[in-house]
Amino acid sequence: MILVFGGSFNPPTKAHLNIINKLLSIYPDSQVLILPVGNHYLKPELVDIKHRLKMLEIMTESLKQISISDLEAYQKFQGTFASLNELSKTYKDIHFVIGMDNLQGVRKWIKYQDLLATYPFIVMNRKGDDHINDIDYMFNDVKHNFTLIDFDDEISSTDAREYPKKRLSLLTKEVLKYINQNHLYKEPNNV
């Protein structure tokens, strides 16, 4: 099974790493393929993809069963469905990993109906929140295959960018060192 974990990873946090480890503990014979969005994704605060790829590489270098894809790195963003279709030419049994918060916005994604009908989703759910009935209701008009996994870490790339004092608790020391050496996510002038 190939678990495609997409996102901006701007920057990659300890919580992202914990998701990877959780996935591998549940699916020990699988491979996690990290798929960061490229520079053409419509998010103005993204640092250049070369830095995000390097931070992901640094964060996961000691892990086996992990690979990082640069598929979306330098091309125009065409949507997750197009990316997974491209990856399916190389990989079989693809599952897409998504957080519950992002799942709620999937209807705004490019070709979301085809995406949901074609690829199984692994949804990282807040531990203790029973959203399966809500999800089934939200997507009752669209073919879908969701597996929920309880996960309780707060992913806060936003906090890591905006609050430098929180970085030590949110990032691995290697990623933090890379950010500091490359002067990424500079402190706002009004802090």
190 occurs within a structural domain: no
Q: What is the pLDDT of residue 47?
A: 93
Predicted confidence at residue 187, as pLDDT, reads 64
Q: Within a domain: residue 96?
A: yes
Predicted TM-score of the model (pTM): 0.90
Residue 18 lies in a domain: yes
Query: Residue 3: beta bridge partners?
Result: 32, 95
Distance CA 103, CA 21 (A): 21
Cα dihedral sign, 109-23-178-50: negative
Closest to 33 measured CA to CA, from 79, 76, 86, 75: 86
Q: Which CATH number characterizes residue 19's domain?
A: 3.40.50.620
Domain of 154 in residue numbering reads as 2-181
Instruction: Answer for the pair 94, 2: CB distance below 8 angstroms, yes or no.
Output: yes
- Walk along the chain (191 residues) in steps of 10 and give the mean pLDDT of each run: 96 94 96 93 84 97 94 89 97 94 89 97 76 76 91 81 89 95 75 40
Measured between its terminal Cα atoms, the distance across the chain in Å is 45
| Structural domain count, the chain | 1
Residue 189 forms part of a structural domain? no
186 located within any domain: no
In a domain, 135, yes or no: yes
Identify the pLDDT of residue 77.
85
191: in domain = no
pLDDT of residue 17: 95
